[in-house]
Each structure stands twice: as structure tokens, then as C-alpha cells.
Amino acid sequence: MSSKQQAVRARPSAGWALLGSELSVLFRRWRTWAMLAALAAIPVLIALAVRLSSRDPGPGQGPPFLDRVTQNGLFIALTATVVSIPLFLPLTISVVAGDAIAGEANLGTLRYLLAAPAGRIRLLAVKYAAAVAFCITAALTVVTAGMLIGVALFPVGPVTLLSGDTISVGESVLRLLLIAGYVSLSLAGLAAIGLFISTLTEVPVGAMAATAVLAVVAQILGALPQLDWLHPWLFTHHWVGFADLLRQPISWDAFAANALLQGGYIALFCTLAYGRFASKDVLS
Amino acid sequence: MSAGSTGDLPSGELAIETQGLTKRFGHQTAVDHLDLAVPHGSVFGFLGPNGSGKTTTIRVLLGLAAATDGHARVLGQEMPAALREVLPRVGALIEGPAFYPFLSGAANLHRLDAADRHAPSATRRARVREALERVGLSHAAGKKVRAYSLGMKQRLGIANALLMPRELLVLDEPTNGLDPQGTREVRSLVRSLAAGGTTVFVSSHLLAEVEQICTHAAIMSAGKLVAQGTVEGLRRGGEQRVTLTTPDLGEADRVLRGLGLSPAGVGSAANGMVTAPLADGILPEQIVAALVAEGVRVRGFAVENSTLEERFVALTGEGFDIVQ
Ligand SMILES: Nc1ncnc2c1ncn2[C@@H]1O[C@H](COP(=O)(O)OP(=O)(O)OP(=O)(O)O)[C@@H](O)[C@H]1O
Ligand SMILES: [Mg+2]
């Protein structure tokens, strides 16, 4: 018995295996790939619509940057990102983050993970890390699919920035990846909110819907001028504020402000999730 | 039979020990001042009707739910404070198996094993294969759990408990949904694990089975412990019964009543059977002597201990309705 005891107690590993397992479960799910495919379809649909229509979009018509797509295919990525930010991206993040704990509770696997023992804090950390990984993947999917379809259907060349300067194709791609990073950061705040909501219920669909509704409500509140005192505190406040990244030289102000805001939301809601989950009775 | 007597082991040798353990859900008391004592190395049957608080007790023992009151020690350490040291040494099946339906059986075990920081990743593949083999699932290892039958999921749940060498196995209704082969297999599995020194704490409704594999048992009723001890002791705690085979039913009945017993006869007049609970102070040999003296032809006579089932029903009531 004592040798067995020692064998079991010998040097616990750092526990990265659980993160690896979480990511592999996430990306082995059909649902995850369906959502990424839907996100990739957005730039493709935009590109096809522009390509197949007989007349070019006039200046200022349609979503931002759409009028420049026919001159430079890289703008598809930008248009698709702007179009996806209010609803499609938050929706997919809500599904992944809302499912984090509630989904495990619903399947009953939560009790087995905790009895393994995964450790409640570690499980929460792993779940959040996986949700952030999905945020990055989702943002990159939109941007990358946009670039690829843009290259395939339209001419591509140096890009004229908002500031009037022109940058090379290579640098344009870097700027687009930077925007994907900005969007991922924005979504990481929403993921923290989703994680917290997910600890409140055993019904994953409820947590997903509640998270998505919050994202939409925050944007509606952000559009009401009567509530302008509230706007800087809304987690959606900087969501579309990445135009600064399209100036020469780059202005990092919006990035910094967004990082501060999202950091605050992440800290707050991860703490709330911990407070709720650390002492919760797991009865599912 | 008083609660708390668990054979002759000192209290330092308890694998599970609870004192005044209480769990309330709102104003319903699911577990009510439970004093459980599970000796090291025992196969301990945890019995009770539906809703008597068995699963709730197991959840509290494993740190999934917090006790409202009282203490629980598992493998000598206070729970849930020592959860991280204790749980790697405990294998568990809690209220039925639960898995990711979109993963294969083997992938499910890989995931749950990865959750345990004490489980070495180098041996993971081999341990998963071995656990699947032990429950007879080798051939279905690559199949999605969505396509598993109830019994296959149950076997996979047991395999999960066996991924690592354990000092304590907590199995909540392990044979639920298993075919007769599976049931036998689990029984022999439990025996072999117990022979290897593992303490097995098994909740069940199948009393005949508990009687076969358990050394100790506890009986719950409406959240309270109504009996605890060795299986032998529990059975002895019940009444004994005499069974008489005789063609002279009427005469036998009269003699037994004369001795103060309350007999019940069955069978034909040619060769009927009479059974009667053995009353205090009357020895079996006195009954036989009295029968023979009165000319009753005794063709068979036996003294039987009550079965665990009879004890169970006597302690938890005949009623079919759930006690709240
Ligand atoms: N999540 C919960 N919320 C409220 N009450 C609960 C909850 N879980 C269990 N209970 C109550 O606690 C009592 C004990 O339930 P428990 O599941 O422990 O019974 P059990 O002995 O395992 O029954 P079974 O043999 O049917 O598995 C029951 O009366 C049940 O209604
Ligand atoms: Mg139960």
C-alpha cells in the first residue's frame, strides 16, 4: 500500500495536459468547425456579391471600405471584420464561453473532471484560456479568409491608408493581422463575461444566449446619445475603434484604451467566476 | 445493531469516516447527522432506498458538494480541505457515468486522465488500454460514446475509476444497466481489487449482490443511518427463523403455538412446510423435542438467519413511496 501511495503522490506534473486536452476537445467538435466555416463565409459572400454585381459600389455606400474592394482585394478582410464585429463574432464567442462550465455540468462530465481532480481554479483557467484561443482563431479566420478571397477575386496592391500614406502589400497584411489581434482582445472581455455566466447555470444554451444578448444590449446602449456618460464603461465601447491602426505612423491610443477596458472586464468577471465556481455545489 | 460498530478495527484504520455529516437542500435534509465508518481494506456496501441520500453523501465525500454541517475524513485526511492530496488516490463512479458523446471511449478516458496532475502522461496510453481491457471494452475503444449502450457507458465509467492504482474506490451503483456477464465481471473485479488492498465503497440496491461481495455494510433511510457493521453482524441482527417440513401440519401448528411461536404453513398436507420466527429464549432443540414428543413427524428442520433483504426491509420500511 505504501509503495502505491508513493507512486500516486509522486511529482504532480505542471498540468498543461488539461489545456491540451481542452483545446483538442474544442477543436475536435463539429460545432467549432461549423462556426469557423460560417465566419469564413462572411468575407467570401461579400467578395462574391461585389464581384458578381454589374455596378461597383459607389463611394460611401454599404459597409465601410466596401467601395475600395474593387481596387484592392485586401479591403475585403477589413469589410468582413467590420461586418462581423457587432453580431457574428460575439455570437460564436458566446457559444464557446457560455458552454465552458455549463456544458460540462450539462453532460455530467464536470463531476468527473473535479473528482479526477482537475482542481476548480485550474479548470476555470483552462476553460478561459481555451475560450481566448477560440477568440483569436475566430478573428484570424475572418481576416485570413478575407485576404485569401480578396487575392483570388480582385487585384491586390499597395494600400492607401486613412492618413493618405501608402504602405506595401506585406505591411498591409501585418496591419490586418494586428487588427485581428485587436478584435481578439475585444472578444476576450466578452469571453470572461460568458465564463462567469456559464458558472451560474447547468443549461449551456441559457448561458450562451445570455452572453450574446449582453453583447447586443451593450452595443445598443452604446448607440444611445442620452447615455454618453455610460459609454466609456461598456465593454463594446472600443470594439470598432481599430481605425487608428490604419494610420501612418500607427496610433496605439485606441489599442491601449481597449486593452485597459478589456483587462478590467477580464479581471472583474474572472474573479466573479472564481468566486462563484470555487464554492459551488456540483450536483449535476 | 448500533451505528458505529464496524468489526474490530481501530478508528485509525478507517478509509472513510464521517461525524455528524449533514447536507441540506433548502429545508430538505438529504443527509442527516451521518456517522459512517468504513474500515481500510473492506468492501463496504452502502445501501438505502431511492432518495435516501447515498449519492449526496458520496458527493460530499468527494468534495463536489459542501457539507452543511459535520466532518468527513477520507483516507485519513479532512475533506474537502485535503481534496488535492486525497482525490488522486480515489477512483470514483458518481451517479452513473457521464462522457462526451462526440469523443470515442478511449479519448474520453484520455481527457479525464489528463485532468489528474498525478497521472503520468508517459503511461497514459498504456493505462487507458489496460483499463478498457479490464472492463471488456477493448473492441469498442475507438467508437464514439454516442454510440455506446447503457451498459457500455457504465463499463467505461468503471474503467475511468481504474485508470490509476487507487487506495479507495467509490462506486455509486456500479452494476446499473449491466448484463449478467457484466455484473459478474464487476463482482470479480471488486473482489480482485479488494484482494489487492483497495478499499471499495459501493452503493447499491442489489442486496443479494452486496451480500455476496461486501464485508461491511451500512443502511440509510431518509438521510439517516439506520444500521452499520459487518454484513454477518447485520444479518445476525435480524430475527432467526425455523423451517419445519412435516406431513402433520395441523398438529405442528398447535405445538408451535403452544411454545409461543407464530407459525405460517405452506404446501400440501402430504408434505407441508411451516415457518416461524424464532422467539427469544426458545432454543431450536427444544422445539424439535416438543414436536417429537407430540408425535409430529419431523422430515426436515432448519434454522435460518434472515437475509440482508429482510433486514433492509425491516429497517427501511415496506412502503414503496419515497420517504421525504
Ligand atoms: N440538487 C438537489 N437539489 C435538491 N434536492 C436534492 C438534490 N439532489 C438530491 N436531492 C434530494 O436529496 C435526497 C437524497 O438524494 P440522493 O440522490 O442522495 O439519493 P440516493 O440515495 O442516491 O437515491 P438513488 O438510490 O435513487 O440514487 C433526495 O430526497 C433528493 O430529492
Ligand atoms: Mg443515487
Whether residue B166 sits in one domain with residue B87: yes
Q: Is residue B172 part of a domain?
A: yes
Give the range of the structural domain holding residue A116, as residue numbers without chain letter. Answer: 18-278
Q: Is residue A6 part of a domain?
A: no
From the list B66, B89, B101, the residue facing A279 with the nearest CB is: B66
pTM, full prediction:
0.87
Minimum CA distance residue for ligand 1 atom 4: B25
pLDDT tens-digit readout, B273-303: 887 877 777 888 888 888 888 888 888 888 8
DSSP A144-155: HHHHHHHHHHS-
Q: Is residue B311 part of a domain?
A: no
What residues of chain B lie within 8 A of the CB of A108, using their CB?
Answer: 95-98
Question: For position B121, what pLDDT does the model report?
Answer: 87
Q: Is residue A8 part of a domain?
A: no
Q: Could you tell me if B274 and B264 are in contact, meaning their C-beta atoms sit under 8 angstroms apart?
A: yes
Q: How far apart are CA B23 and CA B19, in angstroms?
A: 12
Which of B195, B219, B236 is the endpoint of a domain?
B236
Minimum CA distance residue for ligand 1 atom 24: B50
The domain that holds B143 is classified in CATH as 3.40.50.300
pLDDT tens-digit readout, B250-279: 888 888 888 888 777 665 555 678 878 777
CA distances from A111 to B26, B62, B82, B161 (A): 21, 9, 17, 13
Q: Is residue B108 part of a domain?
A: yes
Is the CB of B56 within 6 Å of ligand 1? Answer: yes
Residue type, B279: A
Give B240: exposed, middle or buried? Use CB within 10 Å, 0-12, 13-18, 19+.
middle
Q: Is residue B298 part of a domain?
A: yes
Q: Is residue B228 part of a domain?
A: yes
* pLDDT for residue A11 is more than 70: no
Whether residue B232 sits in one domain with residue B249: no
Three-state SS for B24? strand
Q: Grid coordinates 464496524 are at which residue?
A: B6
Q: How far apart are CA B221 and CA B226, in angstroms?
A: 6
Is the CB of B51 within 6 Å of ligand 1? Answer: yes
Q: How far apart are CA A85 and CA A179, in angstroms?
A: 12
> Which of the pair, A104 or B204, is modelled with greater confidence?
A104
| 145-174 in chain B: CB under 8 A from chain A | 160, 164-167
Of A103, A176, A172, A91, the closest CA to residue A135 belongs to: A91
pLDDT tens-digit readout, A131-171: 999 999 999 999 999 999 999 998 888 888 877 888 898 99
Q: Could you tell me if B239 and B279 are in contact, meaning their C-beta atoms sit under 8 angstroms apart?
A: no
Question: For position A63, what pLDDT does the model report?
Answer: 77
* pLDDT for residue B176 is more than 50: yes
Calculate mean pLDDT across residues A1-27.
Answer: 72
How many domains is chain A partitioned into structurally?
1
Q: Is residue B310 part of a domain?
A: no
Q: Is residue A5 part of a domain?
A: no
Q: Which cell goes with A269?
A: 468577471
Whether residue B91 sits in one domain with residue B48: yes
Give the range of the structural domain holding residue B293, as residue numbers without chain letter. Answer: 241-304
Q: What are the backbone angles phi and psi of residue B119, rounded to the nearest 5°?
A: -90, 115
Q: Which cell goes with A203?
A: 443549461
CA torsion sign for A187, A192, A193, A197 is positive
* pLDDT for residue B5 is more than 70: no
Calculate mean pLDDT across residues A24-31.
Answer: 93
How many domains is chain B partitioned into structurally?
2
Task: Report DSSP state, residue A175.
Answer: H
| Run of H or E residues at A182 | helix A169-198
Whether residue B36 sits in one domain with residue B20: yes
Q: b/e for B198-213, b at 16 or more Cβ within 10 A?
A: bbbbbbbebbebbbeb
Q: Is residue A10 part of a domain?
A: no
Is the CB of A115 within 6 Å of ligand 1? Answer: no
For residue A26, the cross-strand partners are none
Calculate mean pLDDT across residues A197-215.
Answer: 96
Q: How far apart are CA B286 and CA A89, in angstroms?
A: 88
Q: How far apart are CA A185 and CA A196, in angstroms?
A: 17
| CB-facing half-sphere around the CA of B177: CA atoms within 13 A | 17
| Run of H or E residues at B34 | strand B28-34
Which of B215, B236, B257 is the endpoint of a domain?
B236
Is the CB of B65 within 6 Å of ligand 1? Answer: no
Whether residue B105 sits in one domain with residue B224: yes
For residue A167, the cross-strand partners are A159
Q: How far apart are CA B119 and CA B162, in angstroms?
A: 12
Question: For position B10, what pLDDT does the model report?
Answer: 44
Whether residue B278 sits in one domain with residue B163: no
CA distance B83 to chain A (A): 8
The domain that holds B299 is classified in CATH as 3.30.70.100
Q: What is the ipTM of this complex?
A: 0.87
Q: Is residue B54 part of a domain?
A: yes
Q: Is residue B4 part of a domain?
A: no
* pLDDT for residue B7 is more than 50: no
